[in-house]
Amino acid sequence: MADLIDASTEAAARSAGRSLAGTFSDEIATLREALIHLRMLVEATLDFPEEEIDFLRKADADGQLSKLQQMLTQVLQRARQGALLREGITVVIAGQPNAGKSSLLNALAGAELAIVTPIPGTTRDKVAHTIQIEGVPVHVIDTAGLRESEDEVEKIGIARAWDEIAAADAVLFLHDLTRASAPEYIAGDLDVTRAMAQKLSKKVPVLDLWNKIDAAGAAALPAGGMALSARTGAGLEALRQRLLQIAGWQSAPEGIYIARERHVQALRQVQAHLRQAEAHLAAQAGALDLLAEELRLAQNALNSITGEFSSDDLLGVIFSRFCIGK
């Protein structure tokens, strides 16, 4: 129920309904069945060598393993979309003072949330608002303009802005097109670019957005940037689509289900262990114990989504299905 209650958008709520109907747990259960079956074969080969049964070869262990990987890839894809619908992404608007950051937040939100004035250094505290783009929650954060400052309060605001930037899923680096050729402005942007490169992981996308195209006359758009106007709304729809793309949203694939980010993490771990297992299986027979260990770790990761499954249980499965060791 928790998922249904705090799902923050309508699409997420629909997806939560599907999750309650059990699709996600059904698929996890299917994955688990397949994994247990494979572990059973491997463990049996390890534990009962005197039986001289080449379970692995006969039972097409690598076929089973690659089928398992295929299933997992699908589940992961759907869970990722579900987690996205449920949790969204966080984007931070950053840039020099007066670029129009607060105006952009207001334009995206469709409400006058942040104070806008022509005075550089207007914003000190961050202002956050969650918008929805095709049902995906996007948490937009407006921050203090980045510059050297001696003002006590502004300095704190700028330090907070950097904290937000460091924690973002994506950064909207907002520039002022009307000042694009002013040497001071260019130098300021360069400082910000350098500092971002230091503080941000390479995986975090930084979008260069040039604001105020309505007032920029014939000023040329610098390469690689997107143009927009927070005042007229020009370019905002393109920005929204770009944000969805960054989020990895694939417009409503059939059968996505609500999942939490930690489910996605767990499924990624399962995937990594299965890859290792594949490598061991492809190598010499001597790696069988390592193969068994990777499968055990894969199942542990899967169990973190559902319940526990102990090694005693596994032994039970081996005995009941193979009737060996009696």
Ligand X SMILES: Nc1nc2c(ncn2[C@@H]2O[C@H](COP(=O)(O)OP(=O)(O)OP(=O)(O)O)[C@@H](O)[C@H]2O)c(=O)[nH]1
Closer residue to Mg ion, CB minimum distance, 32 or 101: 101
Q: Which residues pair with 129 in a beta bridge?
A: 140
Closer residue to ligand X, CB minimum distance, 3 or 189: 189
- Tell me which of Mg ion, ligand X, none is bound by residue 17, counting a contact when its beta carbon lies within the kind-specific cut-off of 5 to 8 angstroms: none
- Tell me which of Mg ion, ligand X, none is bound by residue 118, counting a contact when its beta carbon lies within the kind-specific cut-off of 5 to 8 angstroms: ligand X
299 binds Mg ion (CB under 5 A): no
Which residue has the closest beta carbon to ligand X?
Answer: 145
The b/e string for 85-112 (b: 16+ C-beta within 10 A; e otherwise) is: bbbbbbbbbbbbbbbbbbbbbbbbbeee
Contacts with ligand X by CB under 6 A lie at 97-103, 116-118, 120-123, 144-145, 211-212, 214-215, 229-231
Least Å from the CB of residue 111 to Mg ion:
15
9 binds Mg ion (CB under 5 A): no
Least Å from the CB of residue 83 to ligand X:
31
Least Å from the CB of residue 161 to Mg ion:
10
Q: Count CB atoms within 10 A of the CB of residue 163.
A: 14
Closer residue to Mg ion, CB minimum distance, 10 or 151: 151
Closer residue to Mg ion, CB minimum distance, 45 or 102: 102
Q: What is the DSSP letter of 8?
A: -
d(CA 196, CA 194): 5
* Contact pick of 15, 19, 23, 102 for Mg ion (by CB under 5 A): 102
d(CA 94, CA 140): 11
- The DSSP annotation for 211-269 comes to E-GGG-TTPPPPTT-EE--TTT-TTHHHHHHHHHHHHT--S--TT-----HHHHHHHHH
Closer residue to ligand X, CB minimum distance, 110 or 120: 120
d(CA 42, CA 319): 13
Cα 163–169–171 angle (5° rounding)? 70
Closer residue to ligand X, CB minimum distance, 65 or 161: 161
Closer residue to ligand X, CB minimum distance, 127 or 266: 127
Q: What is the DSSP letter of 146?
A: P
| Backbone angles phi and psi of 240, in degrees to 5 | -60, -45
- Tell me which of ligand X, Mg ion, none is bound by residue 215, counting a contact when its beta carbon lies within the kind-specific cut-off of 5 to 8 angstroms: ligand X
Least Å from the CB of residue 114 to Mg ion:
6
98 binds Mg ion (CB under 5 A): no
| 18, 81, 82 from 254: Cα distances, Å | 11, 11, 11
123 binds Mg ion (CB under 5 A): yes
Local structure of 130: helix, strand or coil: strand
Least Å from the CB of residue 178 to Mg ion:
16
Least Å from the CB of residue 123 to Mg ion:
3
Q: Which residues bind Mg ion (CB under 5 A)?
A: 101-102, 122-123
